[in-house]
Amino acid sequence: MGSIAVRTGDFRLAYRVLAELKRRGVRCIQLLPSDPLPPGVSAWLGAPAEVGMSGDASGIPATIDTFHLAVERAVHRLSHQGSIRLLLFGIDPGPRPGLAWIGDGIILGKEQFEEVDGVVDRVIDIARAIDHDDLVIRVGNGSKTIANRIINTCMARSLNVERVDEARTSVGVPRHAHSSAALRIAHLQGHAVKEKQRVRPTNGEIRDIQRRSRKVSGGRATIPSDLARAVAMGRLTIRDAIEDHIGNGFESFSFSTER
């Protein structure tokens, strides 16, 4: 396997791209725009103008806003030449969902999110960055309300989605290793979902959101059940619900880092 070069005069961009590559454990080097590419470099990232002026097909344009997708393209180029036949995503649903993606049996990446709403957007961004023929999203059933929300969002965006029995993913996975559970979900055959799912929070889920609201607010607020239900259904974030509940006291209010 080759390496990736960061070849740009934009030092802010270089810092972010290098940090992302190192976070993902990818071999990388930093070059100036005038430096030649050393042997073994499969792809390099630079500002759009730098890539355009080079005329080099191995260059991948990146900006401060799009560098995550540029890194995804570069990492894909290291492991694949041409299009992937089947791109699989696994999602471990919960308040902090896990996501993993596999291309033709090769693990390409995994992440953990702090909120539910950005997961499907991230799937779409990754799919745009990786050439593929077919795409399937496999969602675990461990948190039914959140799983159904994610499934409905996938269906609304015309994505192929399957529900997977998440009980089969729990063996050997630490309680909070959601991205590892997502990887196991991606490897399991699921059942295709063809109809919109009903989102109906249970009393236990509502109580859990109320418990989380106390933690997020540092013990200063417990949102009522109607706001907790709105959070469970995706109509409000937990912070929005706390803000609605405490009203004018919000300006002097500080949240914990817990979502």
Q: What is the pLDDT of residue 8?
A: 95
Mean pLDDT, the chain, whole residue set: 86
* Residue of higher predicted confidence among 199 and 86: 86
Cα–Cα distance for residue pair 259/44, rounded to 1 Å = 36
Q: Specify whether 89 is located in the same domain as 160.
A: yes
Q: Specify whether 133 is located in the same domain as 176.
A: yes
Tell which of 55, 79, 103 closes a domain.
79
**Domain range spanning residue 106?**
84-192
Residue for token digits 């799919």?
127
Cross-strand bridge partners of residue 60: 45
pLDDT, tens only, 214-248: 888 888 889 999 998 998 888 888 888 888 888 74
212 close to 238: Cβ distance less than 8 angstroms: yes
Q: What is the pLDDT of residue 117?
A: 79
Q: Specify whether 92 is located in the same domain as 175.
A: yes
Tell which of 34, 62, 79 closes a domain.
79
Asked if residue 173 belongs to a domain, the reply is yes
Q: Specify whether 183 is located in the same domain as 98.
A: yes
Q: Specify whether 88 is located in the same domain as 187.
A: yes
pLDDT, tens only, 38-91: 988 889 999 999 999 998 888 999 999 889 889 988 888 877 666 789 999 999
Q: What is the pLDDT of residue 259?
A: 44
pLDDT, tens only, 2-17: 789 999 999 999 999 9
Q: Specify whether 186 is located in the same domain as 217.
A: no
Q: What is the pLDDT of residue 64?
A: 93
Q: What is the pLDDT of residue 24?
A: 82
pLDDT, tens only, 146-155: 999 999 999 9
CATH value at residue 122: 3.30.420.140
Asked if residue 103 belongs to a domain, the reply is yes
Task: Tell me the pLDDT band of 169, cut-offs 50, 70 and 90.
Answer: low
Q: Specify whether 159 is located in the same domain as 239.
A: no
Q: Specify whether 171 is located in the same domain as 102.
A: yes
CB atoms within 10 A of CB 43: 22
Average pLDDT of the segment spanning 120-148: 90
**Full-prediction pTM beyond 0.85?**
no
Tell which of 161, 192, 223 closes a domain.
192
